[in-house]
Structure 1
Amino acid sequence: MNIHAPPSLLELASQSLLRDKALAIAALEDLPMELFPPLFTMAFAGRHREAVKAIVQAWPFTCLPLRALLKEQRLHRETLHAVFDGLDILLALNVRPRRWKLEVLDLRKHAHQNLWSIWSGSRTPGFSLMEPGTAHPMNRRQKVEDSRVEEKQPLAPLEVLLDLYLKEDTPDEFLSYIIKKVKERKEVLYLCCNKLKIFAMPIQNIRKILNVVQLKSIQNVEVNCTWKLSTLGRFAPYLGQMVNLHSLFLSHIHKSSEMSLEKQKQYINQFTSQFFHLHHLRVLHLDSVSFLKGRLDQVLRCLNTPLEILSITNCLLLESDLMHLSLCPMVSQLTSLSLSGVSLTNLSPGPLKVLLETVSATLQLLDLDECGIMDSQFTVLFPALGRCSQLTVLSFSGNPISLAVLENLLTLAVGLSKLSHVQYPAPLESYDDTDGTPHPGRLAQLHARLRQMLQEAGRPSMIWSRANACPRCGDRIFYDPGPLLCPCCMPV
């Protein structure tokens, strides 16, 4: 039998008010602030349109975190319209009621916020659209109240926060409605976005949406779909206006074989030149970006500020690209570096060694998975790796190295006091000559040997796990401590 907790006094008071719509609306003028959140939540859940409109018009906090307040409840279309209908009335009058302090309407799905700190007057960080040196709206309002000026003051623009996940050919009903309302009140309603993720949508539709968004509010951009170089060129001008961008993830940008070299150069210049405007960029992920080969320096020299995280994965690079990377001052303070899937087999390890030496005081994560690094190359990198005093995670699965090099690496690793997790490939000696797959018995012996070495070195808590590509499907098989077979290798 389920025993439900009795409703709190706040909930009981809210329920009582909502039974009489006229009383509830009349009571808002003198209602204690702590009653507004539960009252609004119940009014929204119960689809009390008029009550919702009235509560929004009297909201005494700077932020209305709509989805966080509603938790698992759905944003009912009619009741959402009631929220904007209430705002419409105020925005049309262009005056601020006595108790109304709303500055931010937060519609983000996955916002985990300390609601009481927001309600007490703290702004959501990172979304101010004011220029440096401009007084904060709360400060302006406080001065108005302190000086006992007339209650009704002109409205400042209201920010509507919404993370954008563009997955369909056209915007969904919810996004279309928000865009419509912002267009209607573009002088007083600002559509702001912290996260922009593009999975699939025609570029013309993306541009229509971005034309409505306050681009300087965007801090994180992820383009995780297949784009032609010409599409990237059309997106580039918008990227350059995202002046507060902190993180950029770009994947699967392909050059057309039919495109002239002149056109390719034009689009690449359009993209790379935007980095001059991104003074807050700290995280850059480039995955399967075809134009990087021989042109990485063009991206690097446009960077304005030092990066903290750099990931260049599944790209073709020349030795000259690595040389430019090792000498670039904007990567000298990296905490995370990934070159996973970048073939280094036929390249000199010298530039990578220089880069590791440069970032040795700051680097915490190093990912060299599937780079084709040979024994001789690893041996060159050992001294630089030994200087990475802040390294906590090292991953180099999928590289054809010998047991001797692996044991030497373990000896080096135990000297790095902060290194806690190493992911390594099965050494060449563990492979079965008959089918080219690692032999489970040999792998078990290897794991036991490494654990013994860690015990003897006084580092038994350091995690060493193995990962290799499945010979059938290419997915990784992990071993810790024994092999976890890929599903495609398991008997039916």
Structure 2
Amino acid sequence: MEARTAVVWVDNYSGSIYPVDFESEPTPACQKNKTPQMKSLVDTCCNYIVRDSSMTLEAIETVPKDLCIPLMKEALLTNKDRAMEVLLTHWPMESFSLKSLAPNLFTSLMLLYNDSYLSEVVRQGMRYTTTLVHRFIQGLKKGHPNKLKYLDLTGYPTAEVVLFYLSTHCLLAHNETRRKSLVEKFNEAASIAYDVVDDRNVLEPVDSSFPDNCKLIVKLDAFVTSESTFAELCKALKVSTFPASKVQLCIQRLGAIQLGAPAINLILRQMNTKYVTALQLHYNSLTCDDFVTLIPSLKNLSNLTSIDLACNNMNFSTNVTSSMHIAECLGSLPKLVRLDLSNNRVKCLLRQLLCQVTQPLQYLRLASCALRLNDVTYLSLSHHAHGLQELCLGSNGLNGMTDELRKLFKAVKSTLKILDIEDCSMLDQDLFLVQSYIADIDKLLFVNLAENILSVDALKSFVEVIAKNISVQCVRLSYPRECYLETRFNDDSLKVLLVNDLQNIVNKSCKTHPRTKPIQIILVESSDVEMMDLEF
């Protein structure tokens, strides 16, 4: 268990692999201070019933079968494990889809800036999948009669230990079936040989952990970081292709982290590629040449909509030939709309990488990619600009590129919702030149300008302009450079004064530009400021 109990990386579940519904409110299941919601009479009764598993069992034996759905919804919403087990073992239908019963957890802008909320979202999703997998497998092993043939857990992260547990039971069911078949063949041969052999040796029948008529398909999102889980999952996926397999695994989203190119290639070859929609390859030390070895497997992922290649060692600018093959691969994925190339060196090759992707990207993350002037220029002129809803250019030196940035913001004016330009070395004069173009983006919901060393006047000016855009709901900023003077090291009065001034600016703007939703200004400490060396 040593590797399988590794710390869960919350960052693995944010970003491109799980699209966020920014228009929805935070799900009540992940909020500590929940606001009571008005429930229907049916939901109120179901909420009362699932509090006790015995009452749940008694209810499902008498109420119409259709009421199993609201009962399960309430059991999931209130985390009633015993009630879930009772409902699963008596599920009246052949299919169970978690995303149609549980609330969508990946909602609200809080996922972009609140790590505590993101952590709670991940925990809640794992709580759902862990409970359902464990309770259902145990119910099967106990011999509970069940109609369920298809268990769909996609849309919610599965803990690695649960993935290992499910893989081992998939292999267990296969091995028992295979052993049972061998014993039956041996006994049949022994019975035929009985006429000529005096000493007949008959093997005892094999006891099965699963019912003989068991046939279950489990569809899920898998995140693998350890070699032990990787080995079990590969074997389970291989076994799942056999017609006689009692438990079959089907993966929709795959996160393969810290495994390396050979392991990724192996697991991709074992998967049923037509179901895969998202692929995350964080921290695998992939070079451009390593990625080229994955291309034959990746080209089979015809339904892939999202690929995350962040935090690898791909230097596209020094591997032009490999970059051409990678660009061709990206262009061969007909449904790709979400791409993360963060922490790989793009440097002047963005056009070459993206020009063959025919459909406009909706999500593009290019943090720490050493972007240059021609990269930003291409982005403003490309067909992707007219489809982008989320754009991250963080940790790139964008100062001095104001003309290109203005063209880019103008190009994405009608579609962009999320703009992240954190730590881009932007100065006051840069922000003054682009802020009106940012404020003119029609559907903009979130702007991140943190870690840019700006003055008090620049921040006030920006907030005054952006607050006039009634669609903007959240602005993330760092405290201004004046707060980090040596003379103010232990003095927070300027920070307090700034907060009050920004609040007054927002209040004044709301009077002239009425809002349906409030705007939130988030101020964070700057991590890159040297107290003694500030220059004005």
Whole-angstrom distance in 1 between the partners of 2:233 and 2:479? 49
Amino acid at match of 2:462: L
Alignment of structure 1 residues 27-426 onto 2, 5 Å:
61-63=93-95, 71=131, 74=134, 102=149, 104-106=150-152, 110=156, 160-171=218-229, 175-176=233-234, 178-185=236-243, 191-229=249-287, 230-255=289-314, 264-290=319-345, 292-345=346-399, 347-426=400-479
- How much has 1:404 moved relative to structure 2? 2.4
Indicate how the Cα distance of structure 1 residues 268 and 189 shifts in structure 2: closer, same or farther if over 3 A, else same: farther
Determine the structure 1 residue equivalent to 2:40: none
Indicate how the Cα distance of structure 1 residues 221 and 4 shifts in structure 2: closer, same or farther if over 3 A, else same: closer
Indicate how the Cα distance of structure 1 residues 61 and 279 shifts in structure 2: closer, same or farther if over 3 A, else same: same
Indicate how the Cα distance of structure 1 residues 36 and 332 shifts in structure 2: closer, same or farther if over 3 A, else same: closer
Whole-angstrom distance in 2 between the partners of 1:75 and 1:473? 54
Q: Does 1:442 align with 2:494?
A: yes
- How much has 1:35 moved relative to structure 2? 12
Secondary structure of 1:162's aligned partner:
strand
Report the more deviating stretch, 182-191 or 329-338.
182-191
Contact 1:339 / 1:369 at 8 angstroms: preserved in 2? Answer: yes
Whichever structure has more strand as a proportion of its residues is 1
Runs (5+) with no aligned partner, structure 2: 1-49, 72-80, 99-126, 159-214, 532-536
Determine the structure 2 residue equivalent to 1:466: 523
Amino acid at match of 2:134: R
- How much has 1:329 moved relative to structure 2? 0.9
- How much has 1:182 moved relative to structure 2? 1.7
Indicate how the Cα distance of structure 1 residues 272 and 473 shifts in structure 2: closer, same or farther if over 3 A, else same: farther
Indicate how the Cα distance of structure 1 residues 462 and 438 shifts in structure 2: closer, same or farther if over 3 A, else same: farther
Amino acid at match of 1:171: T
Q: Does 1:455 align with 2:507?
A: yes
Contact 1:278 / 1:304 at 8 angstroms: preserved in 2? Answer: no
State the superposition RMSD in angstroms: 4.3
Contact 1:337 / 1:365 at 8 angstroms: preserved in 2? Answer: yes
Amino acid at match of 1:465: I
Amino acid at match of 1:463: Q
- How much has 1:301 moved relative to structure 2? 0.1
Indicate how the Cα distance of structure 1 residues 242 and 429 shifts in structure 2: closer, same or farther if over 3 A, else same: same
Contact 2:129 / 2:157 at 8 angstroms: preserved in 1? Answer: no
Contact 2:478 / 2:526 at 8 angstroms: preserved in 1? Answer: no
Contact 1:391 / 1:419 at 8 angstroms: preserved in 2? Answer: yes
Secondary structure of 1:458's aligned partner:
helix
Determine the structure 1 residue equivalent to 2:12: none
Runs (5+) with no aligned partner, structure 1: 15-31, 47-51, 87-98, 113-156, 475-492
Q: TM-score, normalised by structure 1?
A: 0.65
Q: TM-score, normalised by structure 2?
A: 0.60
Determine the structure 2 residue equivalent to 1:7: 54
Report the more deviating stretch, 406-415 or 366-375.
406-415
Indicate how the Cα distance of structure 1 residues 239 and 473 shifts in structure 2: closer, same or farther if over 3 A, else same: farther
Contact 1:191 / 1:214 at 8 angstroms: preserved in 2? Answer: no
- How much has 1:200 moved relative to structure 2? 1.8
Report the more deviating stretch, 4-13 or 264-273.
4-13
Whole-angstrom distance in 2 between the partners of 1:425 and 1:35? 51
Indicate how the Cα distance of structure 1 residues 249 and 69 shifts in structure 2: closer, same or farther if over 3 A, else same: closer
Kindly provide the CA deviation profile for residues 312-358 of structure 1, in whole angstroms up to 9, marking residues without a partner as x: 1122011111111111112212222211111213x421111111001
Secondary structure of 1:275's aligned partner:
helix
Whole-angstrom distance in 2 between the partners of 1:69 and 1:403? 47
- How much has 1:164 moved relative to structure 2? 2.0
Whole-angstrom distance in 2 between the partners of 1:351 and 1:260? 21
The number of residue pairs the alignment matches comes to 377
Secondary structure of 1:74's aligned partner:
helix
Secondary structure of 1:313's aligned partner:
coil
Kindly provide the CA deviation profile for residues 214-270 of structure 1, in whole angstroms up to 9, marking residues without a partner as x: 1121112111114231222222332222221222221122158xx995xx2333223
- How much has 1:407 moved relative to structure 2? 2.2
Whole-angstrom distance in 1 between the partners of 2:459 and 2:51? 58
Whole-angstrom distance in 1 between the partners of 2:292 and 2:458? 45
Whole-angstrom distance in 2 between the partners of 1:217 and 1:399? 42
Contact 1:163 / 1:193 at 8 angstroms: preserved in 2? Answer: yes
- How much has 1:177 moved relative to structure 2? 5.4
Whole-angstrom distance in 2 between the partners of 1:34 and 1:455? 50
Amino acid at match of 1:169: E
More contact order relative to length (CA 8 Å, sep ≥ 6): 2
Indicate how the Cα distance of structure 1 residues 454 and 179 shifts in structure 2: closer, same or farther if over 3 A, else same: closer
Kindly provide the CA deviation profile for residues 294-321 of structure 1, in whole angstroms up to 9, marking residues without a partner as x: 1111122021211222221122011111
Secondary structure of 1:227's aligned partner:
coil
Kindly provide the CA deviation profile for residues 38-83 of structure 1, in whole angstroms up to 9, marking residues without a partner as x: 9xx99x979xxxxx9xx9xxx9744256997983672698877899
Contact 1:168 / 1:201 at 8 angstroms: preserved in 2? Answer: yes
Determine the structure 2 residue equivalent to 1:149: none
Whole-angstrom distance in 1 between the partners of 2:68 and 2:437? 59
- How much has 1:172 moved relative to structure 2? 5.4
Secondary structure of 2:285's aligned partner:
strand
Determine the structure 1 residue equivalent to 2:480: 427
Indicate how the Cα distance of structure 1 residues 438 and 393 shifts in structure 2: closer, same or farther if over 3 A, else same: farther
Indicate how the Cα distance of structure 1 residues 219 and 227 shifts in structure 2: closer, same or farther if over 3 A, else same: same
- How much has 1:208 moved relative to structure 2? 2.1
Amino acid at match of 2:54: P
